[in-house]
């Protein structure tokens, strides 16, 4: 359909460019660090003139923010597909969520670098996990649920980088073990 080809509207072009820039930024951040990445290098990597980059992002930090936002959007789908399954055993839910995160990294190269540094992503995940705990363990105090969720997310953030030296599957098993045993200890304690 020639119509389809011509249609390619400006908005789509714009979104494509934003996407290119974000992809390039994620890789650049992951490779040389967020602070060391330069807007010029990101633009070059994205094959986008620096002026165009600044048409979409007012400043460097906005690129990071947009990347976080993009990840958050994707992550929400992961959460909804996993954490909400209140009828499944907790081990299964945790496992599925971790698998979801692992797949997310595969389809969003560079994600884990930002995940480990973003307070926003951290807070969002903690909140989701807290909600899940609230539904499953209503007898726990809100404080306990909050800290348990925060510790769980902390474990993921701390252990995930081991994938740099160890097989992903192995690391995921250990994270699952760590989280479930920690949760068991918490439930035991209260």
Partner DNA sequence: AATGAATGAGCGTTCATTCAT
Partner DNA sequence: AATGAATGAACGCTCATTCAT
Distance from C-alpha of 138 to C-alpha of 133, rounded to nearest angstrom:
7
For residue 137, which of 100, 77, 76, 188 has the smallest C-alpha distance?
188
Stretch that binds a second copy, among 54-62, 64-72, 129-137, 143-151 (CB under 8 A): 143-151
Please report whether residue 106 would count as binding a second copy according to CB under 8 A. Answer: no
Q: Which does 147 bind (CB under 5 to 8 A by kind): DNA, a second copy, none?
A: a second copy
Looking at 27, 54, 69, 120, which residue binds DNA (CB under 7 A)? 54
Please report whether residue 162 would count as binding a second copy according to CB under 8 A. Answer: yes
Binding mask 144-173 for DNA (x = CB under 7 A): ------------------------------
10 or 139, CB closer to DNA? 10
For residue 89, which of 168, 29, 176 has the smallest C-alpha distance?
176
Q: Which does 161 bind (CB under 5 to 8 A by kind): DNA, a second copy, none?
A: a second copy
Distance from C-alpha of 81 to C-alpha of 185, rounded to nearest angstrom:
26
Looking at 2, 3, 4, 58, which residue binds DNA (CB under 7 A)? 58
CA angle 149, 155, 161 (to 5 degrees): 140
Please report whether residue 52 would count as binding DNA according to CB under 7 A. Answer: yes
Looking at 19, 135, 184, 190, which residue binds a second copy (CB under 8 A)? 184
**CB of 114 closer than 8 Å to CB of 29:** yes
Residue 170: count other Cβ atoms within 10 Å of its Cβ. 11
Please report whether residue 181 would count as binding DNA according to CB under 7 A. Answer: no
In sign, the C-alpha dihedral spanning 98, 179, 30, 36 is positive
Under 8 Å CB-to-CB from 78, ≥6 apart: which residues? 97, 100, 101, 104
Please report whether residue 49 would count as binding DNA according to CB under 7 A. Answer: yes
Distance from C-alpha of 124 to C-alpha of 101, rounded to nearest angstrom:
14
Q: Which does 77 bind (CB under 5 to 8 A by kind): a second copy, DNA, none?
A: none
Q: Which residues bind a second copy (CB under 8 A)?
A: 33, 35-36, 147-148, 150-151, 153-162, 165-166, 170, 174-175, 177-178, 180-182, 184-186, 189
């Amino acid at each position: 359909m020639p119509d389809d080809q011509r249609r390619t509207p400006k908005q789509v072009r714009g979104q494509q460019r934003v996407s290119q820039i974000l992809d390039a930024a994620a890789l650049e951040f992951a490779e040389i660090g967020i602070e060391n990445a330069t807007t010029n290098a990101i633009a070059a990597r994205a094959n986008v003139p620096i002026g165009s980059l600044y048409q979409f992002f007012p400043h460097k930090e906005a690129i990071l923010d947009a990347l976080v936002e993009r990840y958050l959007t994707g992550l929400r789908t992961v959460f909804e597909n996993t954490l909400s399954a209140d009828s499944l055993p907790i081990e299964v839910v945790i496992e599925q969520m971790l698998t979801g995160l692992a797949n997310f990294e595969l389809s969003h190269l560079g994600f884990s670098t930002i995940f480990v540094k973003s307070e926003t992503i951290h807070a969002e995940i903690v909140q989701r996990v807290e909600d899940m705990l609230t539904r499953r363990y209503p007898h726990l105090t809100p404080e306990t649920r909050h800290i348990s969720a925060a510790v769980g997310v902390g474990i993921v953030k701390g252990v995930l980088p081991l994938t740099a030296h160890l097989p992903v599957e192995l690391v995921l098993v250990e994270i699952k073990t760590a989280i479930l045993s920690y949760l068991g200890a918490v439930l035991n304690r209260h």
